[in-house]
Structure formats: structure tokens, C-alpha cells
């Protein structure tokens, strides 16, 4: 899971996958349906290198309609005030 062994820093794909899955799980838990939401689009901004330590994510549904939901995700390690990445995910909600 280490992308740069010199730093060492977590691989960006690991961070992206963690954030995408976090947003999908958050949406699944906050919905009344048992169907897993289908990803439409995922946009990720890396802000700083992720160290080889525990990483946390905070998710927030910014907009939800009948068929589509938008989720904002913040990933951090040492402090919630210093995110390592920010993401926006768009999901298709199926009945």
C-alpha cells in the first residue's frame, strides 16, 4: 500500500479507493434501501502526502434527489483540520 517508500507515503490509488468506498458505505447507511449505490462520477483532490499511519474519512451528503446523490469526502490523518485529500462523489440511487 506504500506508493513512495522513500517518504514513506500511501499510494494515491489506495487513498482514492478508501474514499470512494467510504462515500458509498456512508450513503448506504444513510438510506432506507438495501441496494448498494452505483457510482456515476468520482473527483479527487490530493492535498498532501498520506503518511504510513491510520487514515480517517468524513462524509457528508451535499445534495440528494430521487435518483442521484452527491457526497463530499474529507480524508485526514493527524488532524481533521489538515486533510490529505478531498473528494466529490456522485451516485445513482436505484429503487
- Tens digit of each residue's pLDDT, the chain (95 residues): 888 788 889 999 999 999 999 999 999 888 877 788 899 999 999 999 999 999 999 999 988 887 899 999 999 999 999 999 999 999 998 76
Specify whether the CB–CB gap between 50 and 77 falls below 8 A. Answer: yes
Domain holding 77, by residue range, is 2-92
Q: Which of 73, 56, 65, 50 is nearest to 2 (CA)?
A: 50
Write out the three cell numbers for 29. Answer: 447507511
How many domains does the chain divide into?
A: 1
Q: What is the pLDDT of residue 4?
A: 78
Q: What is the pLDDT of residue 49?
A: 92
- Its sign, for the CA torsion 23, 73, 15, 54, is negative
Write out the three cell numbers for 92. Answer: 445513482
Q: What is the CATH number of the domain that holds 21?
A: 3.10.129.10
- pTM for the predicted model, two decimal places: 0.89
Amino acid at each position: 500500500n506504500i506508493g513512495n517508500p522513500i517518504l514513506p507515503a500511501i499510494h494515491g490509488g489506495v487513498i482514492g479507493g478508501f474514499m470512494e468506498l467510504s462515500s458509498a458505505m456512508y450513503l448506504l447507511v444513510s438510506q432506507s434501501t438495501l441496494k448498494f449505490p452505483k457510482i456515476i462520477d468520482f473527483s479527487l483532490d490530493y492535498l498532501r502526502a498520506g503518511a504510513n499511519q491510520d487514515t480517517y474519512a468524513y462524509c457528508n451528503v451535499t445534495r440528494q434527489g430521487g435518483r442521484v446523490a452527491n457526497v463530499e469526502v474529507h480524508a485526514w490523518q493527524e488532524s481533521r483540520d489538515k486533510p490529505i485529500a478531498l473528494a466529490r462523489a456522485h451516485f445513482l440511487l436505484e429503487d
